[in-house]
A and B are shown apart, each in its own frame.
Chain A
Amino acid sequence: MAGPDARSGADLVLDRVTKEFAGVPAVDDLSLTVPAGSFFALLGPSGCGKTTTLRMVAGLERPSDGRILIGGDDVTHTRAHQRPVNTVFQSYALFPHLTVLENVAFGLRRRREPDPLGRARQALELVELPHLAERRPNQLSGGQQQRVALARAVVNNPAVLLLDEPLGALDLKLRRQMQVELKRIQTEVGLTFVHVTHDQEEAMTMADTVAVMNAGRIEQLGSPAELYEMPRTAFVANFLGQSNLLRGTVVENGGALVGVDVGGARVRVPAERAVRTSGDVLVGVRPEKLHLLRDGEAVPDDCNVVGPGRVTDVSFTGVSTQYQVEVPALGTLGVFVQNLLGGAAVGLGEQVRLACAVRHTFALDGDDDVASGVVALDESA
């Protein structure tokens, strides 16, 4: 195996890993590759199997099936203490009987590394807590404990660092600050980070690669921009940001554009942005990609147009204005318009048409549930 003293990150590969609890799969036939030195985020709703996945990588849970490789070595059957992996636990799990410094030095001491206390001090400097070295964990604030937990893991230079919602307990301001800090540390020490979160903004701002998980499976994996601009399932389209999804049927295909009939209107979708090019599809478009067209306004080139519909809601949010437009036979669509000229341009009850550039349109499998992955309002904070 890679040896627990890998000086920089190593590849992490999960190969068809399944974990069942009493016959119920928590992680279901999951495969993924995390390249060495990258920041990988595992994003998904509560209970989708994120923690279970991390625990299997750490060796705290044994997969029911499949293999786990770190730096090319199969570690599936090795014990937790033999793996070149460290975890920042959701609950921090600092040792209450040891000082902060001894907590951080714990892993170094177990591996008989030279100068454990000196290196522990350095790690505390990295997280900007050197002045608290002699305290006990219960004398620290939540944010400080979180940073000690991070130092305790990072100091060992693990091949893979696992972070299980380490920022979950922090308030928004401290969370943003810690996100920047984490990213800085990751770039500085060049470790492979696997970061679990259910905060999509956190995943998108920090990670090189994001995997969206749902019900024990990976729905889609890619760079944040890729996932956002070209979601492949309704779950991803709704969970990552918001989407307008319209039911339609493909009526024309074969070329670079696929023609779809949605509620009587004809829209075009680039073939490479369509999950399927025949039969029933869901045509999707992000709310900020839609334009409102008033009576007589010219249709820009290469745009799909639907409507007219009636504006049923206008809410001003500062940077943008959010409209709800009810289009007969299609339903209600959300539209975000940047407030470039200040204030709302279209009033409540007005009739408008909606336009969207063809290259921003995407198409999903028509069998997907339109509402899957929609984040309830109170959860999205």
Chain B
Amino acid sequence: MSIVSALGHGQGGGGTSPAVAAPRRRARGGAYLLLAPGIAYLGLFFVIPVVALLVTSLYVPVPGGEVGQFAPAFEWRNYTAALATYWPQLVRSFAYAFVATVAALAIGYPMAYVIAVRARGRPFLQGLLLVLVIAPFFTSFILRTIAWKQILADESFVVSAIRAVGLLPPDGRLTATGFAVVAGLTYNFLPFMTLPIYANLERLDPRMLEAGADLYADGPTTFRRVTLPLSLPGVVSGTLLTFIPASGDFVNSVLLGNTSTTMIGQVVDSRFFKVSDYPTAAALSVVLMVAILVLVIAYVRRAGTEELL
């Protein structure tokens, strides 16, 4: 309280007496001191790498040099060249991430709803269901994605079952398709969608639902008019936590896709590690970062949830 009000006064301008200013400065110093570890961490592992990335993205190859030898420069054409070549992968990444986010929302929201609202008052059941949501994290991401490769393999019973019911032509396949990549993305990021929505719905005041029922709204209407709008902040966090990492993901497209399902993360990976084309990889990373930032800002604005967050 005292820190907050002290900071609030600080914004008013310099007209305060020294007697008031002294404790204010101390309070400020204390607050910033608490931030120090976070700032140091972010500086070391975020700001420096991003600056390095920006600088690298403008490098040019050393004339007559070996593969992977670059010299500092301001070569903006790295960006246009990278975009001209890799825009399909970039667009595909966002398209896949978008579909996976929608799918994760469609699966994750009902799960979160059942755990938070339907199982309310039954802590054991709630705990059990939550563990089931989190359990996949107990094994490695890569292993689970490889398991999906097995599940969607041509000879797997899942695929033969889908063929049997006619959802897939007899010679149709799931493995190494865009569908498999999106399915993998959806699966891998599902907990990131479910948990924020759960955390939000958990706080939902049951008296709001009673007020809805009292005001002539049946179950579905109360959900649409009360529960859903109130849970929007959870939905926004969940979709961001799913969409952002999914658009940069490369594991799923490598393990579950084919050459025509390549995502931008995969391109960055191969430009960087396979052909040592550092400037292009860096330029693509920067483009990805900026694009995500723009999309996220537009989305949060559109959702209009700032005041609920």
Contacts and interface: CB of A to CB of B under 8 A. Distances in A.
B207 A81 contact: no
A60 B214 contact: yes
B213 to A, nearest CB: 4
A94 B208 CA distance: 7
Interface string B216-241: 11100110011001101000000000
A97 B213 contact: no
A111 B218 CA distance: 11
Interface string B194-213: 00000000000101101111
Nearest to B221: A110
A5 to B, nearest CB: 10
Interface string B143-173: 0000000000000000000000000000000
A18 interface: no
A91 interface: yes
B1 interface: no
Contacts of A111: 216
Interface string A230-267: 00000000000000000000000000000000000000
Contact of A80 (B210, B221, B225, B226): B210
Contacts of A228: none
A85 B229 CA distance: 25
B210 A97 contact: no
Interface of A: 4, 58-60, 79-81, 85-87, 89, 91, 93-97, 106-107, 110-111, 152, 156
Say which size band chain B's interface belongs to. Answer: 20 to 34
A89 B207 contact: yes
Contact of A110 (B205, B207, B216): B216
Given A95-B208, A97-B308, A106-B225, A86 B215 contact: yes
A152 B217 CA distance: 14
B218 A85 contact: no
Contacts of A94: 211
Nearest to A155: B215
A4 B282 CA distance: 65
Interface of A is mostly: loop
B229 A97 contact: yes
Contacts of A59: 213-214
7 shortest interchain CB distances as A-B pairs:
A80-B213, A107-B215, A93-B211, A110-B216, A93-B207, A97-B229, A87-B214
Nearest to A55: B210
| Max chain B C-beta neighbours (<10 A), residue from A4, A58, A93, A94 | A93
A94 B214 CA distance: 12
B218 A81 contact: yes
B308 to A, nearest CB: 7
B216 to A, nearest CB: 4
Contact of A81 (B205, B217, B230): B217
Given A81-B212, A156-B215, 13 more contacts: A59-B213, A81-B213, A81-B215, A81-B216, A81-B218, A86-B214, A87-B214, A91-B207, A93-B207, A93-B208, A93-B211, A94-B211, A111-B216
Given A59-B213, A93-B211, A106-B225, A79 B230 contact: no
Contact of A60 (B205, B210, B229): B210
29 contacts: A58-B214, A59-B214, A60-B214, A79-B218, A80-B210, A80-B213, A81-B213, A81-B215, A81-B216, A81-B218, A81-B221, A86-B214, A86-B215, A87-B211, A89-B211, A91-B207, A93-B205, A93-B207, A93-B211, A94-B211, A95-B226, A96-B230, A97-B229, A97-B230, A106-B215, A106-B225, A110-B215, A110-B216, A152-B215
A254 to B, nearest CB: 55
Contacts of B211: 87, 89, 93-95
Contacts of A79: 213, 218
Contacts of A95: 208, 211, 226, 230
A92 to B, nearest CB: 9
Contacts of B226: 95
A366 to B, nearest CB: 44
B217 A110 contact: yes
A207 B126 CA distance: 46
B273 to A, nearest CB: 48
Given A79-B218, A107-B216, A93 B308 contact: no
Contacts of A60: 210, 213-214
Nearest to B230: A97
Contacts of B222: 81
Nearest to B229: A97
Nearest to B308: A97
A233 to B, nearest CB: 33
B84 to A, nearest CB: 45
Contacts of B214: 58-60, 80-81, 85-87, 89
Contact of A93 (B210, B217, B221, B230): B210
Contact of A4 (B208, B210, B216, B308): B216
Contacts of A80: 210, 213-214
A147 to B, nearest CB: 16
A117 to B, nearest CB: 15
A245 B211 CA distance: 44
B274 to A, nearest CB: 50
A96 B212 CA distance: 12
